[in-house]
Chain A
Amino acid sequence: MVSTTTEIVYQRPESFTDVHTHYCPGCTHGTAHRLVAEVIDEMNLREETIGVAPVGCSVFAYNYFQMDFVEAAHGRAPAMATGIKRVLPENTVFTYQGDGDLASIGMAEIMHAAIRGENITVIFINNAIYGMTGGQMAPTTLTGMKTTSSPLGRDVEMTGNPVQMAEILSQVKGSGYIVRRSLHDAAHIRKAKKAIRLAFEAQNRGLGFSMVELLSSCPTNWKMSAQEALDFVGEKMVPVFPLGDYKVNPALEKLRV
């Protein structure tokens, strides 16, 4: 007789609701959502977490996380998260924001949340475009990239260069953990998950502001297939937005997750 045991190696995280998302085929929002949900499960934080959804494609993020959620005004998620965290310091508070939300209209809110060393976690989706409104130029749009509001390609003489938020926020003393990762293939997705884990660990340990910038794809507005879009992230975006650890509080360096 041979005894067999079964082991579950993959299942829907408890923090992830069992519904179809509204995201386009090939979009990496779903991947990013799932990584956050897995980390919250692993850290057993679901029942104490409050998420803050942004304005943009992930405006309905609260439908996909099985936890308390609020929906912020465009760009104001870090302010709203601050308001929550200051009255509920024992709870875990995170925002989930796109590049238009975080790096354009919400620049003041994200900078000052970091400057105050606000003990919140920010998941920053950088896909170099405004998705929800149909593909306009974002502060992160690559040089020469065509969008509906830069039809001839982004002209850096007129519109400036793509903004590198991880680098900027790493210069702020209040930041405890600032890294950039990418979601363009399985190996990078695994590294992204580890970074998300460390960002929440930073908050748990009271190490200040934490942000994981995730390079993401937008096949619909880039007018590419899903695979072409992922290749574009790896080949075109990574050189402009180098992956790496920009600020890591020493208390996190030896942490094995």
Chain B
Amino acid sequence: MAKELLKGNHAFAEAAVRAGVEAFYGYPITPSTEFLEHMAARMPELGRAFVQAESEVSAINMVYGAACTGKRVMTASSSPGLSLMMEGISYIAGTEVPAVVVNVMRGGPGLGNIAPSQGDYYQMVKGGGHGDYFPIVLAPANVQEAIDYISLAFDLAEKYLSIVHVIVDGNMGQMMEPAELPPMRELPEKAPDWAVRGAKGREPNILTSIYIDPEDEEVTNLRLLKRWKEIEKNEVRFEELMMEDAEFAVIGFGTAGRVASSAVREARSQGIAAGLLRPVTLAPFPEKRLEEIADQVERILVVEMNSGMMLDDVLRIVKGKVPVEFYGRMGGVTPLPDEILAEIERLSQNQGEIAGDPRNEWMARLEKQITGEK
């Protein structure tokens, strides 16, 4: 199929349709609404299920129900909606049924705004719902990658009986880019043996997240943890740019990683040996690769559209081997390549140690920058 000019949210939704999603349950919220609108038109014409639920709480519990039938099911929302969905996400994780949840992130906390943000990193990557569970988190950085990874998300969800979050920010939901959609996948004919579809000629299937005996819950927790270790072993994905001989590593995901790639190229043209690591799976995080990079480079710059959330993971993995600095924009502000380039230039001249939290110096610089802009 040929490339077309596609709007992010429509392209992501159509990618899910072609991956064989059989049910979409959602609630309108900016900047993800076009996803729901696309599904409202497409799903009925294919004879598949679509419900505009009364709330995100209800939408995710509809997803939970359909997930128990073994049908491919998903929802898409934006940050405040994800907060409401956390209840159902925890139940889905506890019941060990597959589901895909797309979060087109916006500025927060609270009502925040409808501008692009990566402020849900903790909520998405660390779980967000109650209890011990480990979501898989994919963070594509352009429309094509999102199309590809939404398709992959269903396969991972089914392989590991797991929640898979695909997180993008409002930029990607709203932007138009040339991209190619995959062909339609065949729908599976056979139900998974654990699915509830009526106990015809077999013992009943019961799907629940209750393990009232703590010893049984612990067995479940251990099973989830062991499955997570498998995921860590098999499913780490990342992209790199000019890392082979880099002396300065920039680390960013999604839009921030994409903007950083422009800055890294520009830095190279100025003779600065910069390289980019862009984690695509935020969970599992590309820990081994980052450890290697920490052994190779002189300094690391983490770039995010939040207050330094992935930064904490980078600090944990780098273990103080090299200084780690931070540059973030918050509140729905997207950094420009020049801002990150200026950081790389500064980084390449800074030989000093970073005393304490790398956010401290960034906060002081950002405050000046914000005041100066006004």
A residues in contact (CB < 8 Å) with B: 46-50, 52-53, 59-60, 62, 65-73, 76, 79-84, 86-88, 91, 108-109, 111-112, 115-116
Contact indicator A87/B199 (Cβ below 8 Å): no
**CB–CB B58/A84 < 8 A:** no
| Chain A CB within 8 A of B106 CB | no
For the complex, is B356 an interface residue (Cβ under 8 Å from A)? no
B197 and A50 form a contact (CB under 8 A): yes
CA distance A82 to B95 in the complex (A): 18
Across-interface contacts of A115 in B (CB, < 8 A)? 54
Contacts of B91 in A (CB 8 A): 72-73
B131 contacts A by Cβ under 8 Å: no
CB distance from B55 to the nearest CB of A (A): 6
Would you call B54 and A80 a contact (CB within 8 A)?
no
User: In the docked arrangement, what's the CA distance between A165 and B72, Å?
Assistant: 34
10 contacts between A and B (CB under 8 A): A47-B201, A48-B200, A50-B198, A70-B206, A76-B61, A80-B64, A83-B65, A84-B65, A86-B66, A112-B58
What residues of chain A lie closer than 8 Å to B370, measured between beta carbons? none
Tell me if A82 and B198 are in contact (CB < 8 A): no
Q: Does B123 contact A (CB under 8 A)?
A: no
Q: How far is the CB of A94 from chain B (nearest CB, A)?
A: 12
Q: B23 near A: Cβ within 8 Å?
A: yes
Instruction: Please tell me if B210 contacts chain A, counting CB pairs below 8 Å.
Output: yes
CB pair B57 A108 closer than 8 Å: yes
Cα(A108)–Cα(B56), bound, Å = 11
- Residue B73 interfacial (CB < 8 Å): yes
Q: Given that A73-B61, A109-B54 are contacting pairs, would A83 and B208 also be in contact in the complex, using a CB cutoff of 8 Å?
A: no
Closest B residue, CB atoms, query A81? B65
Contacts of A48 in B (CB 8 A): 198, 200
Taking the closest CB of chain B, its distance from the CB of A187, in whole angstroms, is 33
Q: B205 to chain A: closest CB distance in Å? A: 5
* Minimal beta-carbon separation of B281 from chain A (angstroms): 28
Q: Which 8 A-B pairs rank lowest in CB-CB distance, beginning with the nearest?
A: A83-B65, A83-B62, A71-B208, A80-B65, A79-B61, A112-B54, A76-B61, A86-B49
User: In the bound complex, how far is the Cα of B325 from the Cα of A85, in angstroms?
Assistant: 52
Chain A residue, CB-CB nearest to B50: A86
Instruction: Assess the A87–B210 pair: CB atoms within 8 A.
Output: no
Smallest CB gap from A76: residue in B:
B61
Whether the Cβ atoms of B209 and A79 lie closer than 8 Å is no
Complex interface bits, B182-219 against A, C-beta within 8 A gives 1, otherwise 0: 00000000000000111111001111111000000000
The yes or no answer to B83 lying at the interface (CB within 8 A) is no
* 15 other A-B residue contacts (CB within 8 Å) besides A47-B200, A70-B95: A69-B196, A69-B206, A70-B196, A71-B207, A79-B59, A79-B62, A80-B64, A81-B65, A83-B51, A83-B61, A83-B73, A91-B197, A108-B58, A109-B54, A109-B57
* Bound CA span A84–B191, Å: 14
A80 partner residues in chain B, CB cutoff 8 A: 61-62, 64-65, 68
Least CB separation from A116: chain B residue: B51
B55 touches A108 (CB 8 A): yes
> In this complex, what residue of A is CB-closest to B48?
A87
**Chain A contacts for B196, CB-based, 8 A:** 50, 68-70, 84
B80 in the interface (beta carbon within 8 A): no
Q: Is the interface of B mostly helix, strand, loop or mixed?
A: mixed
> Which residues does chain A contribute within 8 Å of B58, judged by CB atoms?
76, 79, 82, 108-109, 112
Contact present for A49 and B55 (CB under 8 Å): no
Residues in chain A near residue B22, CB distance under 8 A:
87
User: How far is the CB of A97 from the nearest CB of chain B, in Å?
Assistant: 13
Output the least CB separation between B282 and chain A (Å).
Answer: 26
Asked if B87 CB lies within 8 Å of chain A CBs, one says: yes
Assess whether B66 is in contact with A84, with CB atoms less than 8 Å apart. yes
Interface centre among A49, A53, A70 (most CB of B within 10 A): A70
- B69 interfacial contact with A, CB 8 Å: yes
Q: Are A70 and B207 in contact (CB under 8 A)?
A: yes
User: Which of chain A's residues have a CB closer than 8 A to the CB of B71?
Assistant: 87
Inter-subunit contact A47/B88 (CB<8 Å): no
Docked pose: A84 CA to B66 CA in angstroms: 5
Contact B61 A109 (CB under 8 A): yes
Residue of A nearest to B71 (CB): A87
With beta carbons under 8 angstroms apart, the residue of A49, A59, A84 that contacts B69 is A84
In the assembled complex, the CB of A98 is this many whole angstroms from the nearest CB of chain B, namely 16
Q: Which B residues touch A87, using CB under 8 A?
A: 22-23, 49, 66, 69, 71, 73
Q: How far is the CA of A60 from the CA of B204 in the complex (A)?
A: 14
- Please state if A69 and B197 are interface contacts (CB–CB under 8 Å): no
CA distance A250 to B176 in the complex (A): 52
Interface hits, B86-145 → A, CB 8 Å: 87-88, 91, 95
CB-CB under 8 A from A73, the residues of chain B are 61, 64, 87-88, 91
Please name all residues of chain B whose beta carbon is closer than 8 Å to the beta carbon of A52 when the two chains form the complex: 65
The docked-state distance in angstroms from the alpha carbon of A49 to that of B55 is: 27
Cα A234 to Cα B197 with chains together (Å): 39
Interface centre among A65, A72, A86 (most CB of B within 10 A): A86
